[in-house]
Structure 1
Amino acid sequence: MAGQGEFQELVETLIGLLNEISSLGDYARSHRKECTNLARRLKLLAPLLEEAREASSLDSLSPFHDLKLVLHSAKDLLSLCHKGSKIFLIMKREGIASSFQSVTADLEHVLDSLPYNSLNLSEEVREQVELLHAQLKRAKGKAEVIDTELIEDLMRCSMSDERDYDRMAAERLADKLHLKTWSEIKEEEFRAQESLKLDKGGDLDAAIKMVLGRLKGVAISDADEPYVSIDKARVDFAMRNPLSPSPRSDKLSNPAIPEDFRCPISLELMKDPVIVATGQTYERSYIQKWLDAGHKTCPITQQTLPHLVLTPNYVLRSLICQWCETNGIELPKKVGTSRGGHSSDLEACGDRVAVEALLQKLSSPQVDVQRIAVADLRLLAKRSIDNRICIAEAGGVPLLIGLLSSTDTRIQEHAVTALLNLSIHDPNKAQIVQAGAINPIVEVLKSGSMEARENAAATLFSLSVVDDNKVTIGQTAAIPALVNLLREGTPRGKKDAATALFNLSIYQGNKAKAVRAGVVPPLMELLDPNAGMVDEALAILAILATHQEGRVAIGQESTIPLLVELIRSGSARNKENAAAVLLALGQNDAAHLVTAQQYDAGVPLAELVQNGTSRARRKASLILELMHKQQQEQLNKQQ
């Protein structure tokens, strides 16, 4: 027989471990969903342990010692994903995924062995444990969706052979991992060193160093870590080249200009970077002077140029603009104006020829050329309304739609996101729909990568702002595909899907389609505060409750207790929507009013009448009237 003192001390230790786990957060992107799910499930153990404190006697403490071991393992795993090297975590993703599966299996085994009958648990806590048990069973064998582009880019950046290196891969990696500045990379280096100590006998050291080196090549200097590393060969070339200005004797001023933002000829910050045939980038004015002087070679590589076309490097110019803005530096404007007489940041809109050159590359038989061109167009469409107008007027919409069926994942992602960015300009919405984009976008939503599916959902939302488009989109397979994303997507994907479904469901004809596609059960799951989507889920339910099929489907779920709790403790907006749903259900079936009364809905409804929004007050008053009427009818029957 185990002593009560010893047991209570063990329980306090377990509660302390849960509190430590709860304090963690901001997990690495590569394992965020696994971490969030595990932490959320472990939190469900807190009420069990709180009530278990009162247990008077137990035959054995062994199950609780096993639980302690599991919680230690979970804490170590979550701590690694919280403060470990992002690069290390991705490279060890398979082993870490296996660790999550082991912890899940061990936790399920421990829950099977706990002596529940001796703990005198309340019915509510028992239900919570059963819920946890069911979640653990479902989680077994499920792997988190992998961002394949992230993995591919990391692999490219870890290759020692320069032929396998893709600068754009490093830029995407820096963006996704939030390793854009020197201080961020410095911290990542420290974390990598600490993480590698755990990798006994591992061989990741060289690969991680290679990736960090590549990230430094695209990093933006910041106030914490002013840094510049100028290639000696480039310095020598610039000093002896007649086009180069005299070398400066003064020290470089802070903030230091990143090497890749400097023209290799002038060593000055580039204002209009252009790419020559060899792939090298120069400031337009300097390379043009070089070519005008009769040179037919690339100054850096000395290779003969097969043509003298100068292609604007929009991606680099965008990064330079961002760096200038971050460091309070005014980037001198180029000659020329855009529509409305305003100077354009990128001048892409003012240079229709340059945009058309990018559009021509979309039809290139070379996948790499297509990928770079569509990525540049995606970025251009994101930066300004002028660019969106220019790309659409130059015929970019049909070409981008054609790329939605590309077998190259990144091309498909860039294309659907470029269309999303173009659709921000309202006049482009009609052009996108008229060009036949809806069905291809839906196909991406159904079978693309997770990022492509997310942006496809966002594009459908943007297009559905126009009422006629709600009907057009609803006539396709978009709604079932959005429901699938709502069910299985990432947190971001679920939000994109919810936003699109909300907008589409405003049209009466789409409400039944959403209900028949099974939207209600995942919406009910999202009413869990831990899911972070209560607002979105409740807003959609409020719209669906205005349709008969929606009311029936919502009523078939265990909705009333959740609605009453939201009316009692939710935000002002959630109280309003919860009251709207409850009223619709009660008007459709008086049995729901009886259930609401059983959960003491009267008090929070009365408070809502006093303190709610005007809409909430009306809804709450009507519900109370219906309840009173229903009670009177019951009394009359009894008499």
Structure 2
Amino acid sequence: MAEAGILETIPRTIMTKETELGKELEKLVKTILAEEDCTVEAIDEAMRILRVLKELKIKKSSKVVDNTAIPEEFRCPISTKIMSDPVVLATGQTYDRPFIQRWLNEGHRTCPKTQQVISHTILIPNHLVQEMISKWCYERGIELPKPLVDEDVHAGADRSYLKSLLEKMSSSLSDQKEAAKELRLLTKRMPSFRALFSDTSDAIPKLLDPLSRGRANTHPDLQENLITTIFNLSIHEDNKQLLAENPHAIPLLVESVRFGTTETRSNASAALFSLSTLDSNKLIIGKSGALRPLIDLLKEGHPLAMKDAASAIFNLCLVLENKCRAVREGAVGVILKKIMDSILVDELLATLVILASQPKAVEEMGMLGAVPCLLGIMRESSSERNKENCSAILHTICLNDRTKWPLVMEEEKANATLSILAEHGTSRAKRKAAGILQMMKRGASITFR
């Protein structure tokens, strides 16, 4: 009992000294900043206190980790140290991954703690214990010491675990669901796990195996976890081309934008956006028929899904073929309606600028009331980028449709919106606004105030 009391006193004593030194340092800093002719001694003293505080910080961290009574369930039975990557062995015992993996790699097939013969060598992450350790350390201000990890051992263990999870994809439905949930979690938390898929030739086909084309949403929870896993994988650069070249991946993503839970549809859109950062993938995704379901998802208006759909549409429309497809699929009307409803205005105006290079899109904008909407944003928005985009779109409309000039003239007479933008906007906005004004003057021979 006496020893425990001493251990509790150590961090408390250090913390008291830290507080006192902190106050002293604060006074010194104020003095140094307030006085132009502060002494060199004051600066030296401030630096000395900083060095002492640094030493105390290191001392506090090391003493707490070494001396605090760490709960037994947080210690690895092999290293006896607190675990940084707890995993469960086949016998149900939890170990720190590098130590149990090294034990297994040495050829042992028994549990070090119970001496039971193990039925398999798969190591399953113990997320519950990991979270308990994190919480325990956080509450005590402890920074976990970084373990000495054998990278080859770690990578080998991850490959073995990935292989076992992928094998479950061709097993029972319950196994598939369990593995899909774990893969979703691992590919979210561990960039190294995402990278393994690019090193394993059959990983993507096995992952997609449970999702049959045309029936991907038969089991919504399984679909959601697998589609989200694909999204997580798409973040890794080496996986982008790999996924796009798989004959089933993009069609399954497109189907999942159409059918599935809201989260599934949103994550499928996010995956298409992520994959489309490669120019070659933009064409593949466009040809797959992705734009129509993305536009429909944007139109439906679920907050969780709209932004992902809008981002994917924007990225895909950066290539000419997809601009034409988007216009044919009704993107202009859907985008304008959202802008008029003040939804995702920044993102959708950027897309509308891209589509304005298409004559049919410009014609639709004029018919659907884009001019008053654009003028309103130019007049009232605080976003210089939005004003710039509006002026660019309006310039194109005015070049192609003189019937819209009277609306522009009325706005200019009432609010001098274009004149103000021509004087105070971004360089591009100034050019576009001035161009519209010049157009009006030449065409109608009028002088604006």
1:588-638 deviations in Å (ceiling 9; x for gaps)? 10112221222337722222222222221221121111121222299xxxx
Corresponding residue of 2:111: 291
Asked if residue 392 in structure 1 is aligned to residue 206 in structure 2, the reply is no
Asked if residue 579 in structure 1 is aligned to residue 391 in structure 2, the reply is yes
Corresponding residue of 2:439: 626
SS at match of 1:439: helix
Corresponding residue of 2:229: 418
Contact map agreement 1:270 1:283 (CA 8 A) in 2: yes
Asked if residue 361 in structure 1 is aligned to residue 181 in structure 2, the reply is no
Structure 1 counterpart of 2:181, one-letter code: A
- Relative distance call for 1:582 and 1:311 in structure 2 (3 A) is same
Contact map agreement 1:348 1:354 (CA 8 A) in 2: no
1:52-451 residue pairs with structure 2 within 5 A? 269-277=82-90, 281-283=94-96, 285=99, 291-292=111-112, 295-296=115-116, 307-313=119-125, 315=127, 319=131, 329-337=143-151, 347-348=154-155, 351-365=158-172, 367-394=173-200, 395-405=202-212, 406=216, 407-436=218-247, 437-451=249-263
1:534 to 335, 345, 352: 345
Corresponding residue of 2:21: none
CA distance in 1, matches of 2:308, 2:278: 17
Contact map agreement 2:412 2:419 (CA 8 A) in 1: no
The structural deviation recorded for 1:276 is: 3.5
Following TM superposition, the consecutive aligned residue runs of length 4 or more in structure 1 with deviations greater than 4 angstroms are 250-253, 259-269, 278-290, 314-328
CA distance in 1, matches of 2:129, 2:345: 40
Asked if residue 501 in structure 1 is aligned to residue 313 in structure 2, the reply is yes
Contact map agreement 1:272 1:334 (CA 8 A) in 2: no
Contact map agreement 2:78 2:112 (CA 8 A) in 1: no
2:418 to 600, 605, 621: 605
The structural deviation recorded for 1:483 is: 0.7
SS at match of 1:332: coil
The structural deviation recorded for 1:585 is: 0.9
TM-score normalised according to structure 1 size: 0.51
- Relative distance call for 1:631 and 1:317 in structure 2 (3 A) is farther
The number of equivalent residue pairs is 364
- Relative distance call for 1:542 and 1:357 in structure 2 (3 A) is same
Corresponding residue of 1:551: 362
Q: CA RMSD in A?
A: 3.3
Corresponding residue of 2:280: 468
CA distance in 2, matches of 1:520, 1:252: 65
Contact map agreement 1:272 1:317 (CA 8 A) in 2: no
CA distance in 2, matches of 1:280, 1:484: 50
CA distance in 2, matches of 1:611, 1:351: 57
Q: Which stretch shows the higher mean deviation, 578-587 or 356-365?
A: 356-365
Q: Which has the higher contact order (CA 8 A, sep 6+)?
A: 2
1:292-339 deviations in Å (ceiling 9; x for gaps)? 466328xxxxxxx6x14342317458747975689662353242126x
SS at match of 2:87: strand
Corresponding residue of 1:129: none
Question: Any unmatched runs of 5+ in structure 2?
Answer: 1-66
Structure 2 counterpart of 1:627, one-letter code: M
TM-score normalised according to structure 2 size: 0.72
Contact map agreement 2:333 2:368 (CA 8 A) in 1: yes
- Relative distance call for 1:605 and 1:356 in structure 2 (3 A) is same
- Relative distance call for 1:352 and 1:587 in structure 2 (3 A) is same
CA distance in 2, matches of 1:501, 1:318: 39
Question: Any unmatched runs of 5+ in structure 1?
Answer: 1-249, 298-304, 339-343, 635-639
Contact map agreement 1:404 1:444 (CA 8 A) in 2: no
- Relative distance call for 1:308 and 1:331 in structure 2 (3 A) is farther
CA distance in 2, matches of 1:320, 1:447: 38
